[in-house]
Each structure stands twice: as C-alpha cells, then as structure tokens.
Amino acid sequence: MSVPRDELPNIDDIRWLANVDLPLHYVIKDVRVSRGPDTLIGAPDDFEVVIEYENRIGEGLIGSFEDIEAYQGWAHPLIQDIRSEWPAETIRIGFFERTPIRDDPAE
C-alpha cells in the first residue's frame, strides 16, 4: 500500500534520533517506515518503524553485559523519543541487528 510521504513518520527525524547516544560500536544501516495492514494488527492507520544497525562490538563480546547495557542505554530512550510523537497504540518499533560479515579463516 502506497502512503503519501507526509503521512508517515519522518525517516530523517527518526534517523537523527537513532544517532543520539548511539554506542560507538553501532552503525545505523537503515531506517524504514511502513503503514497499513501488514504492520500491526491490521489496522490501516498503524505504523511500523524498523531501525537496522550493525553491531561491531566483536564476536567475543556479543551478548555480554557490556553489549546488553549499551543496547538498553540507546534503544530505550530512542523508543521513548519516537513515542513522544507517535502513541504506542499506533506505532510498532523494531530493531534489526546485524553483525559484520567476516571472512572465514578456515578458507
């Protein structure tokens, strides 16, 4: 479903918010916003924001206390900032974490 750009949450604003207090080992890869029946419970006015980022903390630290604390310190305030403009019942916020692809040393 195509939605006029001015009806969607502003991607540039969300990207800016996502970069506030971004942990040094994270890189924002993409910010997407969609609207319509494929987002939440099928209500036509629901929005979904997906923030895709790369976590470059290193294989040995993924899932560590440091990694989890960095994520929570960034993601929770970001969600609150987004929800200050879009109420929880109308928007879903998702995060998609990538890890850098490394060459296989066995090859």
Give the tens place of pLDDT for each residue, 36-95: 655 545 555 678 899 999 999 988 888 899 999 999 999 999 999 998 887 777 788 999
- Tokens representing 51 are 């923030």
Q: Is 56 helix (H, G, I), strand (E, B) or coil?
A: coil
In the chain the beta strands, taken as DSSP E runs, fall at 26-35, 47-55, 91-98
- Tokens representing 56 are 């470059």
- Per the CB < 8 A criterion, the answer to whether 9 and 85 are in contact is yes
C-beta neighbour count of 34 within 10 angstroms: 15
Note the pLDDT of residue 46. 75
Residues 39 and 82: their CA atoms lie apart, in Å, by 17
Tell me the CATH class for 5-98: alpha beta
What is the residue extent of each domain of the chain? 5-98
